[in-house]
Every structure is written in C-alpha cells, then in structure tokens.
Structure 1
Amino acid sequence: MNRITTALLAALEALIVVAIGVGIALVPLTILWGTHYGLGIDWFVFWRAAVDVWLLGNGVDLAVQLPVDVTTSLGLAGAEAPFSLTIALLGFAVLAVLLGVRTGRRAATTDYRLTAAGVAILSYGLLAALLTYSAGTVVVTPAPVQGVLLPTLVFALGVLIGASGSPRAAGTVLPGWAARPLADLLGRIPAEVRSQLVAALRAGAATVAGIMVVSGLAVFVSVLANFATVIGLYETLQADVMGGISLTIGQLAFIPNLVVWAASWFVGPGIALGTGSSVSPLGTSLAAVPGLPLFGALPHGTLEFGFLGLLVPVLIGFVVAVLVRQGLDKRANAPHGPVPMLVTGALTGVVAGILLGLLAWWSAGAMGPGRLADVGPNPLLVGVLTFVEVGIAAALGMLVGGRRARSTDKRAEEVSTKR
C-alpha cells in the first residue's frame, strides 16, 4: 500500500472506533426512542445523550443545569443549582484503549508506521471535536477543550502501546529526530542505575496489575454474594425492558471504576459515596447513595477481619519484588548490595503509588449535586499509602530475593559437584 491508502485506512479505523464507542449508548437509546416514545421525540435528543455518555466515559466533565420541574421531582438538595458530572464511566475509556492498541499494531505492520498512527490519532481528535460540539444543550454542556483532548489522548495511549509492542516496530516507534536524543540521554545514565530504574518500573507496574486482578476477583465475588440485593434494587427502579438494558450497559461501563475502588479499599483509604460517607476496611458508613443496583454489592457495616485486606498490596509487592530481584541478578551490570536494593524497592513503591493514585483519580469524581459531588477514592491518600505499603514490602522482597537466588545457586553447585 502507498502512503495515501495507509492514511485513509487509518482514518477509517479511527471512525470505526468512535462509532463503536458512541454506538454502545446510541443503539439502546434509539430502540427506546422507537418502542417507548413512538418516535414522538426528536432523535437528536438521544444522539446528544449518547455522545454525552461517551464523553463522560472518556473523562470529559459535563456541566448540568436541570429544569425546575425535574429538580422538584427528584428532591435532591442542591439539584436546582448548576452542578458538574465528572466521574468517568471507565468502561468506555478501557474499550478505546484496547481498540487503540489494535490500531497501533496494524499501523506498525505497514511501511508508513508514523503516518498511519498519526493520521488515526488526528482523525480521532477531529471526530471527538465534531461530537463535542454537536452534544451541547441547555441542560447538559460538555467541556469543549476536554471533549477534544481527553478522548484523543485515551485513544492515542492505546495506539502508542500497540505500536511499541509490535516486534516489527521495535526501535521505530519514535521518529529519528526524537529517538536519537532520547538514546543519548539514556546512554549517559550509568548501567547499574538503568537496571534499577527498569526493575522498579517493572516491579511497580506488575504490583499494580496484581492488585487490580485481586480487586477484580473481589468485585466478582461481592456481586455474586449480594446478588439478591442487586436484583432487589433493580426491581425498586421499576424500569421497563429497554430501560433495564440501558441501565445494565451503563453499569457494565462502571465496573472498571468498581475494580479501582476495590483496589483503594485494599490499600486502606477506601472510597466515599457522598460527602461524609466512607467504605473502608475499618467499616462502612453511608447515607443516601446513588440508585445504581451495583452499589448493592458494597460491603455493609463493620467487617471483623476487614483489616486483613491491607495485606493484599503488601504480599503482592513482596512476591513481585522477589521475582524481579531474581531476574535482575541474572543480568550484566546488575546492582548489588543492600543499599541499591532498598532504593530499588523504594522506587517500586513510588511507581506503584503513582500508577494507583492516577487510577484512583481517574475513577473518582462528582456523580450529582450536593453531597454527591464527592464520590470515589482520595487519589492522594491512595498514592501515598500505596507507596508506603508497597515500598516497604518491595524493599524487603529485593533483599530476600537475592538471598534465595544465592542459596539456589549453591544448591546447584553442590549437585553438579556430586555428579
């Protein structure tokens, strides 16, 4: 393929990714428009609603000004004043990243890698701009700059991950004018320090991944254990078939948020579901919460052994550090001695704290007016406590991992000598 064909296909793929994201919300809303409203309402009302959901899922803030009759029927304190919706439905962002990875891998297999990746990201940004400026109404107004930048950055993250992960693209992700200065900068760092930094990045990312896996399992088990409560909340909403389907799709998009919230619970700070509320290993204290059936899976009351959840990040950080240390010792120019290992463990905690703090920040936000402006974990507390817990555990793991590696080598030498 020539450059023009590659660029056109990349633009088409960006269009498909946007269509999938918007279509997830638009299709059930369109069916609802035909079956429940009998085509009696302007379809663009549902179009704008679907675009708003897609934008919210990519982290875009929505400014809301509800009509007087709606605020009266809701009875929520503060609903009559303008408020913001800032909590992202992370399922849409995760989908955009995954589809972006696919786009990046395809771009890396072409002869014009940078052209394909650049055109895909640029096309996605143009489409995001068109959608943002088509979605504004008197009731709901998306932040225009965020609407253009945030969805594009989410998709670009996936494209870069996909392009850099392709074997054919190894060493060619960045253009020459950017790759050479970066290589020169890395070359000035001593080899042992580079090994420490790489080990800390790998261990920190692996620790956060492990915490997220355990958190996902915990959410799954909690939903199963409280399934009757979840179904009961569904019944109290008295939604029809299409309303129930739309609600279910919205909750599926919210599951990544719950997984991050579970990770924050394991770390210690837990989450808030409104100002003054708390869900943490020490207990649950809630007032009125948003009427999402999935919230029925949240822990209730005081958990006698809830404090044991704090061991999850500690144990994962320790095990990951042991494994990383054993692999680190096999490399040339590997750092040795307790002090470098303690520093590497501390850096692991820094990486894990930054990553989990960013995830906590991305998963939190405002879900409504008044006290619902504070929903989700506190990212600063999550980041700091993750740094402390994982940092200490990783430092110990780095030290113990070296001892285990040496004892394994001695046993191997003894066996070979006997033979």
Structure 2
Amino acid sequence: MNRTTTALLAALEALIVVAIGVGIALVPLTVLWATHFELAVDWSVFWDAAASVWLLGNGVDLTVQLPAAMVGALALPGAEVPFVLSIALLGFAVLAVALGVRTGIRASETPHPIIGVLAAIASYGVFTTLIAVSSGNGAVTASLPQAIVFPTLIYAAGVVVGVLGVFGRGVHTTDATSRSAKEAATPPRLGRLTGLARAIRERFLDLPGTARLAIAESLRGGAAAFVAVVGVAALAVAVLILANFATIIGLYETVQAGVVGGITLTVAQLAMLPNLVIWAAAWLIGPGFAVGVGTGVSPVGTSLGAVPGLPIFGALPQSAPAGGFLWLLVPVLIGFFTALLIRRRSDKAGRPVPTLTGQLSSGGGIGVVAGVLFGLASWAAAGAMGPGRLVEVGPNPLLVGVVAAVEIGIAACLGMLAGSRGAASVSSAASVSSGASTSSVSANPK
C-alpha cells in the first residue's frame, strides 16, 4: 500500500465517521420531512437542523434568534433577543472519539502510519468546515472557528489514543527476543515513534523510585476512582429512568411529537445521556448541578423551577432523598478502597513499602487526578440550554473538581496507610512463623 492509497483510505474513513455522526440526526429528520411534511418544506431546513445538532454535540456554540411568533408561543423570558446554546450533547463526542480510536488503530497497521493519521485528521477538519459553511440560517448560526477546531480536536483525540495503544504494546514488551522481532516487523516511521515512546518511558524510569511510584499510583488510582464513581452514577441514572418511566411517557404524550418526531426526540435525549451521567456523578460528589439560574439538585437539598420540556427530565429528583448526605460516602469509599487495592497490589509485586510521605503523596495524587478528571467532565457536560435562566445548566466544574479532589484524596490517603499496615502485619506474622519453625527444628534435631 503506497502513500496515496493510505491517505485516500484514511480520508474515506474520516468521511464515514462524519456521515455516521450527522446521519444520526439527519435520517429521522429526513423521514419526518417525507412523511409528516410530505416533501412540501425545503429539505435544507432539516439539513441545517441536523448539522446544528451534530455541531452542538461536538462542543460548538450555537447562536439562536427565534422568530417573533415562536417567542410569543414559548413565553420564555429573554427569548426575544439572540441567545447561545453551549451545552454539548456528549453522545456525539463520545461516538467521534470511539470511531477515532478505530481510525488510529487502522492507521498504525499500515506501512505509512503518520500519513494515515494526518490524512484522517485533516480530512475530518475539511468535512467539518464544509458542514459548518453549508448549514446555518437566520435562526441558528454556529461559531465558525469553533466548528472548524472543536470537532476535529475531538476526533483527533480518539485517533491519538488508538495510535498510542498500538505503540504501547510495543513499548511495554519486556522480552528482548520478542521486542527485536516486533521492531523488525514494524514500519520504519512507526518504529521511530515507538522508539520515542520508549525513550520517554526510560526517562520516566530514571526518576527516583519513590517519585516514580507515587506518579504511577496517582494516575492509576485517580483514573480508577473516576471510572468507578461514573459507573455508580450511570447505574443511578438507569434506576431513576426506570422508576420515573411513567412520568417520562406522560411528558412524551404532552409534547405530541408523533412517531417520527418522538424518534427524533429520543435520539437527542440518548445523545444527552452522558451529560446526565456526569450530572449524577456531581450529585454523588456533593455540589450537584443546576437546571437554571437559582436552582440546584444535590444530596442535601433540591430546588427546581420550570425545567426544559425534554421528557428525560422527568427522571430528575423533585426533592432530596431521605438521608441524602449518606450518598456522599460513595466517592469516599471508592477513594479508600481504590488506594487500598493499589497499595496491596504494589506490595504483592514486591515493591518496597514507601515512607509515610510517599504514601500520603500517592493518596493526595489520586485525589488530584480524580479532581481534574471530574472538573473536565463537568465542564464538558455543562453549558447554556436556552435564554434567561437556562443560561446555567449542569454542574459547576471548579467546585466539583475541588470537592472531588478533597474527598477522594483524603480517603485515598487513609487507604494507602491501611494497605501498608495490612501488608506490614502479614509480613510480621510470616517472619514470626518462620522464626518459630526454625526454632522447633533446632530443638528437635533428627
């Protein structure tokens, strides 16, 4: 496969990824255009709507100017002036990252991986620009600079993760014979990048043992704690949807969108599920989230006004649950047991028991990493959902990140200390048992 073929195939894959993302919104809207409107309306209206939804899902801000008739019908304060929609429907971004990982893996398996990666990312940027330029009308306008940069960066992040995953398998090969065989079979450009990754890893190994251990445990533990809390949050969202299913169906009936309109609305809400999961994680951590200025949903109290008319919002708790503050123990327990398991895993691997300072550094590092991840996730899941009071929807990224860092960090420090004490007790017991056996043998020679 030559360079031209590699670049063309990478561009084709980028086109397919864009088509899948836009098609998720465009297909039901096109069916709605054909069935409900009987082709009487200009199809470009539905293209504009699908492109706008896709761009919004990739973090692009939309400026909306509603017609006067719609402003009067909605009766929303502030709707008469242009307002910004900035809350990303993260399902589209998650899909782009997942497909980008696949692109990165496929590009790494070609004889010209760098050309494949660059061609895929550049083509994706071109297609995104074409979508942004060809869509938009007087009512909805996307930010062109953001439309060019943000979707491309999201896809590029997935491509890079896929490439690094392939590189990592070569970097962590410890057997010299198998490593030499892999290097011989690796394309030259890929081999140079693998060598660069190995050089970075070796530079990391040159750090003092305590610093290297603290960094590794912090990254591993912080990421594990983040994933665990988000997993509990996802389970909580699923339970809330099932428990409030009748309310959600009632809101669907109130909207009266019809079959195709209901499918379109459902697709939009599915794209928003990752946002709801992050909101639930912020709720578990403590600060909770807002659904408008002056509102708040948290374990210690709930204050909701009129919420946007999405049926999925029927699952929002209308009041704080009994003993809601007990839910704050979830991230604390996760932080504690994550650190405990990491500490005991290090002991089983034969690593020396770190000093008290080293243990506290690892525990604090776990909290910092988890706090950064929660802050970034909250930032991505928050934004403006409409005019007036709806300019503030979602969790406060800074507050969620700081509280998560404190809660998980303190719990992780305790987990590190408990894990080390457990390992020390086992080691002491083993030494005593060994000494007793030796004494018994000495006292009873045969």
TM-score (norm 1): 0.95
**What does 1:351-362 align with in structure 2 at a 5 Å threshold?**
351-362=369-380
The more displaced of 149-158 and 251-260 is 149-158
**Given residue 37 of structure 1, which amino acid in structure 2 is its aligned partner?**
F
Match of 1:275 in 2: 293
Match of 1:295 among 313, 316, 319: 313
- Give 1:359 shift: 0.3
Secondary structure in structure 1 of the residue aligned to 2:114: helix
Q: What's the CA shift for 1:170?
A: 3.2
User: Runs of 5+ in structure 1 lacking a partner?
Assistant: none
Deviations 1:86-117 (A, max 9, x none): 00000101111111111111122222222212
> Does structure 2 retain, via aligned residues, the 8 Å contact 1:108–1:169?
no
**TM-superposed deviation, 1:300:** 1.6
Q: 2:336–2:408: 8 Å Cα contact kept in structure 1?
A: yes
Task: Name the structure 1 match of 2:174.
Answer: none
Alignment match of 1:326 (pick from 339, 344, 366)? 344
1:214 to 1:110, Cα distance in 2 relative to 1, 3 A: same
Aligned-pair CA distance for 1:331: 5.1
User: Which blocks of at least 5 consecutive residues in structure 2 are unaligned?
Assistant: 172-189, 439-446
RMSD over aligned Cα, in angstroms? 2.2
Paired with 1:40 and 1:178, the residues of 2 have a C-alpha distance of 59
Per-residue CA deviations over 1:271-305 (Å, capped at 9, x if unaligned) read: 10000111100121111100111111111223221
What's the CA shift for 1:415? 7.3
- 1:29–1:246 contact (8 Å) kept in structure 2: yes
Residue 257 in structure 1 maps to residue 275 in structure 2: yes
Q: Is the 8 A contact 1:114 1:173 kept in 2?
A: no
Aligned runs of 1:168-179 on 2, under 5 Å? Answer: 170-171=170-171, 175=193, 179=197
Match of 1:191 in 2: 209
Structure 2 counterpart of 1:87, one-letter code: I
Rate the CA distance shift 1:95–1:176 in 2: closer, same or farther, 3 A: closer
* Equivalent in 261, 282, 294 of residue 243 of structure 1: 261
The alignment status of 1:217 with 2:223, answered yes or no, reads: no
Structure 1 residue 113 corresponds to structure 2 residue 113: yes
Helix, strand or coil for the counterpart of 2:302? strand
Deviates more, 1:41-50 or 1:79-88: 41-50
Distance 2:125 2:316 in 1: 37
How many Å apart are 1:405 and its aligned residue? 2.5
Question: 1:44 corresponds to which residue?
Answer: 44
In the TM superposition, residue 398 of structure 1 has moved relative to its aligned partner by 0.9
- Aligned mates of 2:342, 2:112 — CA distance in 1: 36
Residue in 1 aligned with 2:3? 3
The residue identity in structure 1 corresponding to 2:85 is: L
Which amino acid is 1:361 matched to? W
1:95 is aligned to 95
Once the two structures are superposed, residues 114-134 of structure 1 have per-residue CA deviations (whole angstroms, 9 ceiling, x without a partner) of 221221111111111111111
Do 2:55 and 2:151's aligned partners in 1 also have CA atoms closer than 8 Å?
A: yes
Aligned positions of 1:8-407 closer than 5 A:
8-166=8-166, 170-171=170-171, 175=193, 179=197, 182=200, 186=204, 189-330=207-348, 336-407=354-425
Q: Deviations over 1:306-357 (max 9, x none)?
A: 1111011101111111111122335576561111110111111110000001
Distance, in Å, in 2 between the alignment partners of 1:359 and 1:13 is 28
Point out the structure with max Rg over C-alpha.
2
Tell me how far 1:369 sits from its aligned partner: 0.2
Deviation at 1:401, TM superposition (A): 1.2
Moved more, 239-248 or 404-413: 404-413
Q: Which moved more, 1:387-396 or 1:187-196?
A: 187-196
Aligned-residue sequence identity (percent) comes to: 56
Letter in 2 for 1:302: A
- Listed one character per residue, the Cα deviations across residues 22-65 of structure 1 (whole Å, up to 9, x for unaligned) are 00000000000111111111111111110100010011100111
